[in-house]
Structure 1
């Protein structure tokens, strides 16, 4: 029997089995083969409703808000959450949004499902340090590992400390949803040599968290943290990590953007190789949003203007259809505005909506742990 396929069920039988599984197990079942992926996507309600949208984090002087935009609904704007001005989005996964409040030492982290209105306060970091205490959120990322079904928040100590040496950053801190506290994961010597966290932010893509370092060979390396086995290693970059270079996400893949003199070059990591994907020329005060700047077939840009009072700002979001072009000018005057919002568009993320209760994610993780034992 060892040579037989054990997953060739009739679709109706397969769907009946899949519907008996917890939601996270169904998501992992999609990885078995095309037949299983089609059954999950087409015959289970949570996947049929998982159209990918873009969440934009908007900041004003005193407030923070999150809005969802989707071209399938005519670029309608939905308000998804609101908070004080110190709150920032650090990541989104499967309908969950991870928020960090910079007003609290170390950054107070909360997970929310805005569709159900549920929230989960994450325990505080056991220890923390930074020379830029107003920017705790930039040292966090929120990721999901599809094979294990685990949700993890990663904190990289030593954010933007110019005086930091490679020896002073010797671990990262990890919180797994369903566990009681943070854990420390030591950095191997080869990874410590890359140096402290750079200014290009921390991003999580397809089960791996990445951040820019300030050292390494020729400065052309990022740190990669596998959310499954929690191994750390160096990932070569196509350009040197320096001001103007940021990590980004392009259609579910890791990207690197180099912004210089109104010209932005974007590389995308595909099958282990960096490929130069886009050359964008922006006009005036226009800027690419990040880390998620591609929404489906559109590139998203923003322009921020002062309103009638200097401290009041308004942002206009534009969508530019990509097509098959690799190099083109992106001018807001040639495209209709997607939306106008009061404030500054701070960050953008891929987002899907779900009505699964937040406690489901905790229960599934605890169940997985008991089975592992």
Structure 2
């Protein structure tokens, strides 16, 4: 049952209970303000409103009270409301013990404790975090929900002779789908009948990876893409290394496109792989340039997709 319909039904039922109690007590000559009200008498919309303002540690505790509260706190609708109201917080990742804590050192969950794989954070989106476990024998990607204290292990993408992997994690609001992409460069590209890196996409909730073809550019920023507005973003250059630019990957139609970068000619030249980084902060796309140079320039795109809105905010 969808939570929206459940909220309406529960609200109507609870309102009827209140009315019946009030009428019965008025008949007995007792003022309606004198009777006791327990938590189970509260309308469900009020419970949602109250619980969505609680810290994660408390939510993990109230989930154990009863089945109704467990179902309520496990619903994606509740997670969305809680995320919208939650204050900014920091999560602490313990790489080798594979534990994740809140900024108050409250343990949220542990992944495969005892194994020797190293755990790293790939990205986060709408309160979910994408983690990577890597060892010589296996390469595991997990998507975790800190509120539920649970995680989903994605099917392994078994490919041999992979030289590099670039990944991205994000959400498409039109289809209400979360997706993970991997861009694979092989040690011997000729062995896979293609001279370009391959793009693999996994939709959360399915059991397979889909190959959607060649990567049209060379991505300079390693490891992961910056997620904003249903798209992943990188700094890239053409395969002939003559031009450089920003690009985006639309999680809806699953297409790569060039994206407007800072309005200056110097960003059209190919740069060292670690000299430019693209990220998201406070809901804005930013570009850091100059990691290998004396000065570090930080550009921020004030209006998404508008080239003229790029502003150089800091020079460090």
Bin the TM-score by the shorter chain: 0.5 to 0.7
Report the CA distance shift for 1:218/1:267 in structure 2 as closer, same or farther (over 3 A). farther
1:256 deviates by 1.1
Paired position in structure 2 for 1:178: 205
The separation in 2 between residues aligned to 1:195 and 1:171, in whole angstroms, is 11
Aligned partners of 2:226 and 2:233 also within 8 Å: yes
Report the CA distance shift for 1:246/1:158 in structure 2 as closer, same or farther (over 3 A). same
Aligned length: 229
Aligned partners of 1:63 and 1:85 also within 8 Å: no
1:210 aligns with 2:212: no
Paired position in structure 1 for 2:4: 19
Equivalent of 2:305, from 272, 277, 299? 272
| Matching of residues 63-102 of structure 1 within 5 Å | 63-69=97-103, 76=104, 78-82=106-110, 86-102=118-134
Paired position in structure 2 for 1:109: 141
1:183 deviates by 0.4
Per-residue CA distance 1:233-259 (angstroms, 9 max, x = gap): 222433254332111112223221113
Tell me which protein shows more helix as a share of its residues.
2
TM-score, normalization by structure 1: 0.51
TM-score, normalization by structure 2: 0.59
Secondary structure of the corresponding residue to residue 20 of structure 1? helix
The separation in 1 between residues aligned to 2:109 and 2:221, in whole angstroms, is 29
Paired position in structure 1 for 2:179: 152
Tell me which protein shows more strand as a share of its residues.
1
* CA RMSD, Structure 1 to Structure 2 (Å): 3.7
Aligned partners of 2:284 and 2:304 also within 8 Å: no
Per-residue CA distance 1:55-74 (angstroms, 9 max, x = gap): 455466x44554444xxxxx
- Unaligned 5+ residue runs, structure 1? 1-16, 23-39, 70-75, 282-373
Paired position in structure 2 for 1:233: 257
Report the CA distance shift for 1:131/1:115 in structure 2 as closer, same or farther (over 3 A). same
Aligned partners of 1:211 and 1:224 also within 8 Å: yes
The separation in 2 between residues aligned to 1:215 and 1:63, in whole angstroms, is 41
Per-residue CA distance 1:179-221 (angstroms, 9 max, x = gap): 120001124xxx62x3255437422222111233343674422
Paired position in structure 1 for 2:245: 221
Paired position in structure 2 for 1:300: none
Secondary structure of the corresponding residue to residue 49 of structure 1? helix
